[in-house]
Structure 1
Amino acid sequence: MTVQERARLLHRRGVAATSGGHPARAAGHLREGLLLLGWAPGQAAVPADAALAARLLISLAHAEAEQGHTDLGLGLLTQAQDWAAPEERTIVQAQLGLMLLRTGRVVQALERLDAAVPSLAGYDDVELARILLNRAVAYLALGRIRLAREDSRRSAHLSLTQGHDVLHAKALHNDGYCDLLLGDIPTALSTFARVEEIYQRVNPGFLPVLALDQARALLAAGLAREAGETLDRILRRFRRQRLTQDYAEAELARAQAALDARDHDMARVWAQRARAQFRRRGSELWTLRARLMTLRVDLARTRAPYRLVARADGLAAGLAALGAGDEARVARLLGVRALLLAGRTDAAAEAARALGATHSRAPLATLLVHHLTHAELAVAQGRRGAALSRVRTGLSLIDTHRGRVGSLDLRTGLTALGDDLARTGLAAVLDNGHARLVFDWSERCRAQAFRHTQVRPAEDGRTAEAVVELRELSQWMRTHPAQARQAPYLRRRCLELEREIRERGWRLRGTRDATAPAATSEIVAELAAADLALMSLLHMRGRLWALVVRRSRFRLYELGEYAPAAEAGRRLAGDLRAAAGRYVPGRLRSVIGLSIRRQVETITSALGPALAAATGASGLVVVPTMALAALPWGLLPPMAGMPLVVAPSAQVWLSARRARRDDLGVPLLVAGPDLEHAEAEVDQIAAVYPEVRRLSGAGATVEATLAALDGASVAHLAAHGHHERENVLFSRLDLADGPLMAYDLQRLAGAPGHVVLSACDVGQTVVRVGDEILGFAAALLYAGTSSVIGCVTPIPDEVAARVMTEYHRRLARRVPPACALAAAAEGEPVSSFVCFGAG
């Protein structure tokens, strides 16, 4: 092999290593090739094969710049320009454009790339595909998505024609990012999944870069915790691969995840780390973006907002000069908000007028900041109607995005994007004190995911395989607990499968079908017709509020601090779990009982005025909030024997009530394994009805139960349950051949009318921002079940059997579910059964 042949081989290896996300390895190959040709750092002597040396220098410049050695890379390009063959000097300029792009000088980068495209057309399709790919990234940075998509798709076509799999995958990756910026999260994630399969095969070193964009998609969907977990995994890989630009971008995204999770201290730490990294790289635009993130954090926690105004103005000017118009506008909007916080309303109004309108095609995040700022300004000016109009518009934008996604996970997550807007609207009406207006706005801001049509998961083969494997592993671990404890890798595998199933669900497209909210007058009329009171709880500014609707009248109560009631609720749940234990010594049981009474008294006292206002009604509808969503309401003394139903919102209650079925049909009774009283409980309930369909023993399988649940009028499931707080869609009931998961319920073509979950604590929910709920009982409500009876804490088997038998005796006599449960559970000191939905 000649020297030139060896140098060309090293060049190919270097280019492949850089494309694969390993710039340090690439630099080693490229330097070796240059040394073979007689090149030495700092020496101007022209090698014998100057054109080949120039190609090596071009590639080495990029590899060095990717490691943060920007000045060195620029120097190498200057030398390459002198040695390159005339027809390849365009490639030098294009490489300079890429380097400028990676350091945030997007406008200058675009000029170089624009000049290179026509020169390479018809000369080198692979280089042209590469330059189009880079130009698409420049367009994306400037928010010019249509042009970015055209370049991405042209690059994909050229690279596919030339058989260049790596470039083709990167072009598809860009195309998916266009969808993300347009707000089409399912399509973006579906494209990213296709790209991931290609990267796994031909370019695994680029997988962390793809994961960074997947994390950005999760942030756009309001899933800050999940995005943070993804970013934590890939940060280590970026560091190992010495991808300094991508590492810093991941740090900046991590700051966003922390800010969205209200962890302001960590958000500032991550933003400062990213800023330092960008400064070392000489990336002015990215440095300004990190400073903008720091400004957002400081605005959220500052006590001296006026100091932030000048920072915002300076940032806006810097961002605008670099072509980042949308981010410059966000900076100026933050400056307006800082003026408002400082009490400078007139100055804020003047700054807002100077800023003008935000283009309707701006990114969703920019539009939301725009509407939030103008809503806050209107509140400060005493223009409540204008403020509420802005909030309505912003929340409508989020609802439009919600209609695009089919995943319940994403639908509930998206509500977090409008949290500040919703709170601004609620604060405005709370300050006004008009109870009916507060009720209207509380309903507008909570449990909005229920308004959208349930979308069944796609029946793709890989998801089906993952579900089967997960079910089999879970079953084996349940039936072989000792061996499972010695094999922690099995639990890790289960978590991997859950993550895969969940991620595939995120790609599900929505139908855009949504139910129009019912008028408040309809809710009031339904309550009055049934002689029911409604108590809706709100958590605002650290305070707990209650709205009580009774006999067509609305009353608003400020109940006091939220934290003590929430803490009492958490302690009560812990005490009830302890009391449900099989082997609790008498003395300890006495202590637990005393604590239960103390927590019940604390909660009752906190809610006292609202509960008193509901006295005399035939029943109560409770719309809880946050930590109070899982209270065992029937244990509160004012509620003893009182029919009550819990719903995520009054709208959900009304919809469920209208969907109620009067017929009992042939009740379905299912007895799961390893539950001491399950068979006896089912025997006793079966005796209540003239005819039942029964699944027990080996016949109580997942598929048999799902098939029987589909469209059933009444179903009673006596099975051990597990509430999975960290991965709620995999909360489950244990059946003969494995777990029936909340995820499985999405497959039902027809929802069961009324479901009873008689064991454990699968009545629990995870409550997200906006009182969006997830859990096993919640999955049934989303599917269309009108009433669900479930426990919010574990309950002794014998208590469950006793209460449930009495419950069904009354249900068989056509007593409504809430009334039947109140009577059956009265006098049971540890019964945590709750009726959810319609009652």
Structure 2
Amino acid sequence: MVFAAPNDAVARAEEVLGTDPPPLHASVAHQVIGIWQRDWGDMRIALRHLRRARDLAARAESAEREADVLGTLGVALVHAGRTRQGLAAFERGVGRGSGHTRARVLYRRAYAWWVLGHHREALEDVRKAIPVLRQADDVIWTARALTLRATVHLALGAVERADADFTAAEALWDTTGQEHDKADAVESRGLAAFRSGDVPVALRLLDEAEERYAKLGTPTFMLNIRRCEVLMAAGLAPEALAEADAAIGVLDGIGGQSTRKAELLLGAARAARLSGDPHTAIARADLAVRLFAAQRRGWWETHARLVLIEARVAAGRGSGRLVADAAAVADRLAAFGAPAAPEASLLAGRIALGLGWTADAERHLAVAARSRHGGPPLARVTGWAAQALSARAAGSGRGVLEACRRGLDVLDDHRMTLGASELRARATEQGAELAALAQQASLARGGPRRLLEWSERWRATVLSAPPTRPPADPALLSGMTAYREIAARAEEARRDGRPVPALEREQRRLEREVRSRTLHIRGADPGGGDRFEPERLLRRLGDDVRLLELAVVDGRVHVLLCARGRVRRWAAGLLVDAEREAEYIQAGLRRLAHPGAEGRLPVVEAAGARLEELLFGPAVGQLGSGPVVVVPPGRLHRVPWALLPSLRERVLNVSPSASSWLRARETAPPPGGRHVLVRGPGLATGGAEVPELVDRYGTAVVLEHADARVPRVLEELDGAALAHIAAHGAFRADSPLFSSLRMADGPLIVHDFERLDRSPYRIILSSCDTARFASVGADELLGLVTALLPLGTAGVVASSAPVNDAAVVPLMLALHKGLSAGLSLAEALRDARAALPGDAVHQATGWAFTAFGAA
């Protein structure tokens, strides 16, 4: 019963022990309690019960019973870090048992070998056990053995063999009532999906396994370990670190398995390194190395040493000793047959390159590059990165660009299997090095046009194709409705000054549920998205429009000016200086949103002139007098572009990439020309522009008061020609896809917009912070505006800073006046700024708004 109904089994065992049972029965009862404590409780208590079970079996003079208990005890000793004692218990158990019992002990020893990282020994034992278990018609233990063999195959990178064993085991589990084993099978299938490169399915299966374990009331630390691995591959390293650290805390609190603690520490070290925290990574990895060494787990210890070296390099500690250490780790991993061996060779090559040891670097990189032609996507990317670095060391610019192209093609295909915009965006981080290498090679040997191509190759890729529309999942839809209701109640309580901790906890829980289900969405088949063609861009720009793409190479901004059939390049300032100046300006605009800060206006204007010099450099003299399109990197999304002196009186569009500007430019407006005006609750001005706009657009759909509810708003927005939304905006830096606009029934979030078949052709967001983004991945932005652009919206007007609500009203009325006269959003916004009063509040309000896209 212990793996079918664990808590019931323990209760029954305690009942048996309360009846003064004979030694044989008491041995079984103590073994059950020992298993429960071993897997979900205190290892010291587990060992006490299992040793008692062994002694009682000996008193009962049952060799088979004693062999069975010795198998269970061996697993517990290994998990407690007492490897030598555990293996001795197995040896005795195999010798004491026969037939069917001996096969069960061999299965348990195979499991222990897997925990220790001795995969060949594990396969040998489990292969001996399976025929005997099948012959005895022992369905449960046969299924366990097949699941274990599949898991060992996965550790060795043999995904197809693992799939065959998982399929066979699953068919057997369907005939049993072993609920915990069934949950473990679901968890294992999640691991198999991950190893084959299917991150959404892996996340879904691991979440399903967690639900099953929760119903049984049993914690499972192996699930935490596996989910950390998947989260890191999905670009969610901070979440993986939080999960690992939380699980370590729980494990320490109950005195749980030492082996699992070491594995969790290894996961935490990897996650910390990927999160940009090398010092935490070093501390976690160093402790993991020591624990694995004490547990005699060489396979695991070697993996932990790899992470430790990576973290030391990230902390700036590159040295010849680390080259030797990384090479030794690569050799050991290769001897183990571990799929991570190419990563270690790549690391050794990188360190050697940094030291100028070209011959050593090329030798290690050549080994790592072998992985580029086979295996999961991320393993192939490792190989192509090694090939690109090897080509650079050899002075072959063409070889660098070819390797980068091939590697990014692999990541493109992988990225398109991800349905969630967040996962697509975060996945680009895995191609950041390849994109940077290609840009460096283009700058050194290619012309401006080639640098433009590579600047576009890995910029704003999440906008290259529409996100996969969320399925009509009743659980997802009901979760979003519940989230909206709780968020509305929490907001109402805050306004009334009532306590909200319980509501906030429930809101966070529902957020996790909605986000989790969204991450499960699978993408389309590989090959989505358009390839960027400079010639097509130059044709579209014509003679008047100038597009400035700001590419960042080695920390410096390079201006690529596209106009009149040519691409020219100028070097500008350092990106870090521009970011600092942009934040200073943002602080000034926040002050200017309130009356009484007029003295800050000259200071902010002077900062705008300094920022322009950093961003445009000599190119500022080449802008001509026509419209300008600025394509900034993601890290400059907070720049209020209209504040820059050369852009203040221009028709100005901003776009995350030249490709997205092209698509917006070529997007046709929908038939019918339907206008939608939405007014949310709680605005200081009450959305005063909306009633006047009703008069301007006599046939517009007007949604306000009780009509401004999310389902109705989404229904009317779908396919509209123009939408104006006056509603409080809230940007969520911690979870950008929960950035929202407040409606009558709660927040309208980015996830809601992604359910639209086609978002409005033009949309105006007249509230604060609606153009704020989270910069993630290599060069991606997540937020309200970037959710709209790939869904059919050709133009958005939104603010990147807090604004004065009263000053927004005349700006919006003037903007719509221009639209009614047939102007584009950018043209109408320029004229609207010019029509505002000349005081500081109105000027700052005008600068805060930007026209995104091309409509």
* TM-score, structure 2 normalization: 0.92
Shift of 1:302: 4.2
Shift of 1:401: 0.7
Shift of 1:155: 2.2
Greater displacement, 245-254 / 635-644: 245-254
Query: Is 2:57 the partner of 1:57?
Result: no
Residue equivalent to 1:388 = 401
Query: Is 2:352 the partner of 1:332?
Result: no
Residue equivalent to 1:829 = 843
Query: Is 2:569 the partner of 1:556?
Result: yes
Distance 2:713 2:369 in 1: 59
* Among candidates 224, 231, 243, match of residue 257 of structure 2: 243
Query: Is 2:664 the partner of 1:650?
Result: no
Residue equivalent to 1:363 = 376
Q: Is the 8 A contact 2:372 2:381 kept in 1?
A: no
Q: 1:807 to 1:337 in 2, by over 3 A?
A: same
The amino acid across from 1:640 in the alignment is R
Q: Is the 8 A contact 2:40 2:219 kept in 1?
A: yes
Distance 1:770 1:175 in 2: 30
Query: Is 2:499 the partner of 1:491?
Result: no
Residue equivalent to 1:199 = 213
| Sequence identity percentage | 30
* Among candidates 426, 429, 448, match of residue 435 of structure 1: 448
Residue equivalent to 1:541 = 554
Q: Is the 8 A contact 2:369 2:382 kept in 1?
A: no
Query: Is 2:318 the partner of 1:273?
Result: no
* Aligned residue pairs, count: 824
After the TM superposition, which residues 209-358 of structure 1 pair with which residues of structure 2 at under 5 Å, given as runs? 209-241=222-254, 242-302=256-316, 304-324=318-338, 326-353=339-366, 357-358=370-371
Distance 1:420 1:203 in 2: 44
Greater displacement, 727-736 / 484-493: 484-493
Shift of 1:516: 2.2
Residue equivalent to 2:162 = 148
After the TM superposition, which residues 719-758 of structure 1 pair with which residues of structure 2 at under 5 Å, given as runs? 719-758=727-766
Distance 2:607 2:294 in 1: 55
Q: Is the 8 A contact 2:815 2:828 kept in 1?
A: yes
For residues 514-541 of structure 1, give each alpha carbon's deviation from its aligned partner in whole angstroms, at most 9, with x where no partner exists: 2322411010111125x11111112332
Greater displacement, 162-171 / 647-656: 162-171
Residue equivalent to 2:12 = none
Query: Is 2:173 the partner of 1:159?
Result: yes
Q: Is the 8 A contact 1:22 1:205 kept in 2?
A: no
For residues 540-584 of structure 1, give each alpha carbon's deviation from its aligned partner in whole angstroms, at most 9, with x where no partner exists: 322222211122222222212211210111122222223324xx6
* Among candidates 14, 23, 27, match of residue 3 of structure 1: 23
Q: 1:613 to 1:277 in 2, by over 3 A?
A: farther
Distance 1:24 1:404 in 2: 46
Q: Is the 8 A contact 2:368 2:383 kept in 1?
A: no
Distance 1:203 1:143 in 2: 33
Q: 1:271 to 1:526 in 2, by over 3 A?
A: same
For residues 118-173 of structure 1, give each alpha carbon's deviation from its aligned partner in whole angstroms, at most 9, with x where no partner exists: 22222233222222222222111111111112222222222332322222221222
Q: Is the 8 A contact 2:368 2:386 kept in 1?
A: no
The amino acid across from 1:312 in the alignment is A
Greater displacement, 155-164 / 343-352: 343-352
3-state secondary structure, aligned to 1:830 = helix
3-state secondary structure, aligned to 1:287 = helix
The amino acid across from 2:293 in the alignment is R
Residue equivalent to 1:784 = 792
Query: Is 2:643 the partner of 1:635?
Result: yes
For residues 693-749 of structure 1, give each alpha carbon's deviation from its aligned partner in whole angstroms, at most 9, with x where no partner exists: 211122211111111101100000011110111111111111112111111001112
Q: Which consecutive residues of structure 2, in runs of 5 or more, have no partner in the other structure?
A: 1-20
Q: Which consecutive residues of structure 1, in runs of 5 or more, have no partner in the other structure?
A: 40-45
After the TM superposition, which residues 508-547 of structure 1 pair with which residues of structure 2 at under 5 Å, given as runs? 508-512=521-525, 514-528=528-542, 531-547=544-560
Q: Is the 8 A contact 1:664 1:714 kept in 2?
A: no
For residues 57-102 of structure 1, give each alpha carbon's deviation from its aligned partner in whole angstroms, at most 9, with x where no partner exists: 2212212211222222123223333433454223323322221211
The amino acid across from 1:493 in the alignment is E
Greater displacement, 695-704 / 238-247: 238-247
After the TM superposition, which residues 372-521 of structure 1 pair with which residues of structure 2 at under 5 Å, given as runs? 372-432=385-445, 434-481=447-494, 486-512=499-525, 514-521=528-535
For residues 280-334 of structure 1, give each alpha carbon's deviation from its aligned partner in whole angstroms, at most 9, with x where no partner exists: 211101000011112223344546443333222211222222222x322332232
Q: 1:258 to 1:546 in 2, by over 3 A?
A: farther
Q: 1:735 to 1:359 in 2, by over 3 A?
A: closer
3-state secondary structure, aligned to 1:546 = strand
3-state secondary structure, aligned to 1:770 = coil
Distance 2:389 2:462 in 1: 26
Q: Is the 8 A contact 1:611 1:638 kept in 2?
A: no
The amino acid across from 1:12 in the alignment is V
The amino acid across from 1:547 in the alignment is L
Residue equivalent to 2:11 = none
Query: Is 2:611 the partner of 1:603?
Result: yes
Q: 1:203 to 1:699 in 2, by over 3 A?
A: closer
Query: Is 2:84 the partner of 1:71?
Result: yes
3-state secondary structure, aligned to 1:642 = coil
Distance 1:196 1:771 in 2: 33
Q: 1:355 to 1:649 in 2, by over 3 A?
A: closer
Residue equivalent to 2:189 = 175
Q: Is the 8 A contact 1:20 1:203 kept in 2?
A: no
Distance 1:824 1:679 in 2: 18
3-state secondary structure, aligned to 1:230 = helix
Residue equivalent to 2:17 = none
Shift of 1:658: 0.4
Q: Is the 8 A contact 1:669 1:693 kept in 2?
A: yes
Distance 2:653 2:369 in 1: 48
